[in-house]
């Protein structure tokens, strides 16, 4: 996952989920909590630039923003977010082929039963929920129930 990160634009987090109870609902809440940890980490870099001085969304707000994704769409979105700037079309962080290779490998390592989410509306493909307090943000997160990954890109214009 670290290969997909880009200084002050693309943030990544991965690890083991804490023990959860409550089945799928508990796992979903645990993933939202991990995304929230990542948001708090990036807030240190972005608070002076962010459009909302109140800070990033709570874990509950992140959970409400979770839209289910297929593994294929999640890997594609991870590759896209690691490569293409949300704010400045044409600005690139890394080669798309390399990002796609890493993203697919991450999805493969988590396995076929991984549950994936994003704050990207799957119907609109261009709308996101603003969980970071920055003007632009988009994330993808997944878990196999034990391990998790999260990647978010943020920006201001």
Residues 83-133: tens digit of each pLDDT:
999 888 889 999 999 999 999 999 999 999 999 999 987 677 666 677 998
Percent of the chain with pLDDT over 90: 72
Query: What does the alpha-carbon distance between residue 97 and residue 83 come to, in Å, rounded to a whole number?
Result: 9
The pLDDT of residue 53 is 81
Residue 135 pLDDT > 90, yes or no? no
Query: What does the alpha-carbon distance between residue 76 and residue 119 come to, in Å, rounded to a whole number?
Result: 14
> Contact 99/76 with Cβ under 8 angstroms?
no
Grade residue 134 by pLDDT with cuts at 50, 70 and 90. Answer: confident
The DSSP result for 8-74, as a single string, is TTEEEEEEEPPP--SHHHHHHHHHHHHHHHHHHHHHHHHTTT-S-TT-SPPHHHHHHH-EEE-HHHH
Among 69, 129, 127, 101, residue whose Cα is nearest residue 4: 101
The pLDDT of residue 156 is 83
Give the pLDDT mean for 27-31: 94
The pLDDT of residue 96 is 96
Mean pLDDT of the residues in the chain? 91
């Amino acid at each position: 996952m670290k290969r997909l990160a880009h200084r002050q634009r693309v943030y990544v987090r991965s690890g083991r989920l804490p023990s959860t109870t409550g089945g799928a609902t508990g796992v979903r809440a645990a993933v939202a909590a991990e995304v929230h940890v990542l948001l708090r980490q990036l807030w240190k870099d972005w608070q002076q630039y962010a459009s909302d001085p109140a800070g990033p969304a709570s874990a509950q707000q992140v959970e409400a923003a979770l839209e289910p994704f297929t593994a294929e769409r999640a890997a594609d979105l991870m590759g896209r977010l690691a490569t293409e700037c949300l704010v400045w079309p044409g600005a690139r962080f890394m080669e798309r082929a390399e990002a796609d290779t890493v993203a697919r490998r991450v999805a493969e390592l988590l396995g076929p039963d991984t549950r994936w989410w994003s704050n990207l509306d799957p119907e609109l493909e261009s709308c996101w929920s603003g969980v970071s307090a920055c003007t632009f943000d988009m994330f993808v997160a997944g878990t196999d129930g034990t391990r998790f990954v999260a990647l978010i890109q943020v920006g201001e214009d």
